[in-house]
Structure 1
Amino acid sequence: MAAEPRALGVGIGWRPEIDLTVERLPGVDFVEVIAENVRPDRLPESLRVLRGRGTPVIPHGVGLGVGGAEPPDPGRLAHLAACARALEAPLVSEHLAFVRAGGMEAGHLLPVPRTRAALSVVAENVRRAQDALPVPLALENVAALFGWPEDEMTEAQFLGELVEMTGVGLLIDVANLYTNQVNLGLSATEALDRLPLSALAYVHVAGGHSRDGLWHDTHTAYVPDDVLGILSELCARVDPPGVLLEWDDDYPSDDALDAELGRIRGAMARV
């Protein structure tokens, strides 16, 4: 069984470019930091300020690669564990993705083949990660530009069986569900109906851009109304422990970010 999720509230991704903004934004209940961008023994002053206020900080990894055939790298796991301890984090999150093979980096978060064989490998990788971490692990669904032809399960089925086998938590990115709906024709609401939302740890929300008929989840724009609609659909099914806004470049003003957090709260309250 997945661990009982902690109530987090509404948060924003901490980035060094907006560190002071995040500190002064009203109503930021928690933040998330890219684990590969911080040193546990030399945390940025802004993160220390936030922790001093009691604001939870979640390390979010992008390079562990639990979806690969190789076991997770012990050094990467040790870094995630050290980040969790230094930040007194309630959990660690990562992506259910394939990122490397044979020492070669893909440079992208690629979807995992949803087969029985892959599920067995991923489950073992997740167990290794859980054993190495001092706090619970949550895995994020990824945005995909393609699906593997040998897929035997939907993403929701794959995640459901993975949760049952390992007790891992889920970080549901509703912007990624929207991306898969636009690019692959996969219904976001159908996914929500089938995902094991009882294992939900928190939620990601983000904006992007349409180009040549494809939706690109860039985290550099305002959240589309359609993505907020999917968030409302999720909230109609479960009370999410936390919802976090991701914004990674082309940062707007403090007031604009505050307004985006307000739009997220509004979407959550529409249920």
Structure 2
Amino acid sequence: MEKLGVGVGWRPEIDLTVERLPGVDFVEVVAENLHPDHLPESVLLLRDRGLPVLPHAVSLSLGGADPVDAGRVAHLASLAEALDAPLVSDHVCFVRAGGLDSGHLMPLPRTRDALDVLVANVTAVQRDLPVPLALENVAALLEWSDGELTEGQFLADLVERTGCHLLIDVANLYANARNLGTDVDRFLDEIPLERLAYVHVAGGAEHGGLYHDTHAHAVPPEVLDVLARLRARVDPPGVLLERDDDYPSDAELADELAAIRAVVG
């Protein structure tokens, strides 16, 4: 996977900020929020500067028992071509079942049957994409009770059977360690880090005894520590800061990017 550097999630609310932030090597856009025929001027500017622009989908529902919506896949493929993106991504989750949409990234039961469904969907989607697909670990507030595999084993088997890449979200990993008792080091030891495409970093907050991955707070030192533990094992091709609400000043965003760069070198 090509070297991406340190990046930030492009959002229309901070388009001018992203354009002028120092030290931004690449950006990520939410695929469902853009149309390939009417790309925002700011995104086109960044693309034309030579920055990789990576479409990040949130609605394929690759772990769902229902067939993946071909229209959503076609949209993602068209967006990748319009942006000349080196890869696209989505999540190891489902968002729809029985005709209902959760509006949330729901964790999968880590069973071999669920893995079979995920593998079949990912394999089918990959055939219709013009670029490689990376899949992200999600934050969860619950675990299904019949799990047969650890999360790391589940992701490792997914990669082995599909050849997909991984997008590791260290903020989600930290949230799961806090809320579900996930062993961070075991997770990092079990996943195939040679298939790492890039990394997400984001902030969160504690409410009612649970840690919530809000993307609306500063990145806490504990998340940067998880990033450092990953960095001790591999030099990640890219690390991207996500922010989706309560946007801080340009200076604060620049400081967060600098803190990330200090960890990954």
Q: TM-score range by the shorter chain?
A: over 0.9
C-alpha distance in structure 1 between counterparts of 2:181 and 2:32, whole Å: 33
> What does residue 193 of structure 1 align with?
189
> What does residue 89 of structure 1 align with?
85
1:105 match: secondary structure? strand
C-alpha distance in structure 2 between counterparts of 1:245 and 1:171, whole Å: 13
> What does residue 149 of structure 2 align with?
153
The within-5 A match list for 1:61-76 is 61-76=57-72
Q: What amino acid sits opposite 1:81 in the alignment?
A: A
Q: What amino acid sits opposite 1:84 in the alignment?
A: A
2:29 match: secondary structure? strand
1:83 match: secondary structure? helix
1:138 aligns with 2:134: yes
C-alpha distance in structure 2 between counterparts of 1:27 and 1:264, whole Å: 11
The within-5 A match list for 1:210-221 is 210-221=206-217
1:9 aligns with 2:5: yes
1:11 match: secondary structure? strand
Deviations, residues 71-101 of structure 1 (Å, cap 9, x unaligned):
2110000000011011000000101111101
C-alpha distance in structure 2 between counterparts of 1:124 and 1:204, whole Å: 26
> What does residue 166 of structure 2 align with?
170
% identity of equivalent residues: 64
Q: What amino acid sits opposite 2:25 in the alignment?
A: D
Structure 1 residue 27 displacement after superposition: 1.0
Q: Which deviates the most, 187-196 or 140-149?
A: 187-196
> What does residue 232 of structure 1 align with?
228
> What does residue 103 of structure 2 align with?
107
1:260 aligns with 2:259: no
1:98 to 91, 94, 98: 94
C-alpha distance in structure 1 between counterparts of 2:194 and 2:175, whole Å: 23
Q: What amino acid sits opposite 1:99 in the alignment?
A: V
Q: Is the 8 A contact 2:196 2:237 kept in 1?
A: yes
Q: Is the 8 A contact 2:198 2:236 kept in 1?
A: yes
Deviations, residues 178-197 of structure 1 (Å, cap 9, x unaligned):
00000001121221111111
Q: What amino acid sits opposite 1:132 in the alignment?
A: D
Q: Is the 8 A contact 2:152 2:186 kept in 1?
A: no
Deviations, residues 143-194 of structure 1 (Å, cap 9, x unaligned):
0101111110011001001100000000000000000000001121221111
Structure 1 residue 227 displacement after superposition: 0.4
Q: What amino acid sits opposite 1:194 in the alignment?
A: E
C-alpha distance in structure 2 between counterparts of 1:189 and 1:250, whole Å: 31
**What is the number of residues matched between the two proteins?**
265
Q: Give unpaired runs (5+ residues) of structure 2.
A: none
Q: What amino acid sits opposite 2:92 in the alignment?
A: L
C-alpha distance in structure 2 between counterparts of 1:231 and 1:147, whole Å: 23
RMSD of aligned Cα (Å): 0.6
Q: What amino acid sits opposite 1:213 in the alignment?
A: G
Deviations, residues 32-91 of structure 1 (Å, cap 9, x unaligned):
000000010000000000011000000000000001012211000000001101100000
Structure 1 residue 102 displacement after superposition: 2.1
> What does residue 178 of structure 2 align with?
182
TM-score of the superposed pair, with normalisation by structure 1:
0.97
> What does residue 40 of structure 1 align with?
36
C-alpha distance in structure 1 between counterparts of 2:161 and 2:48, whole Å: 37
Q: Which deviates the most, 167-176 or 106-115?
A: 106-115
> What does residue 245 of structure 1 align with?
241
2:134 match: secondary structure? strand
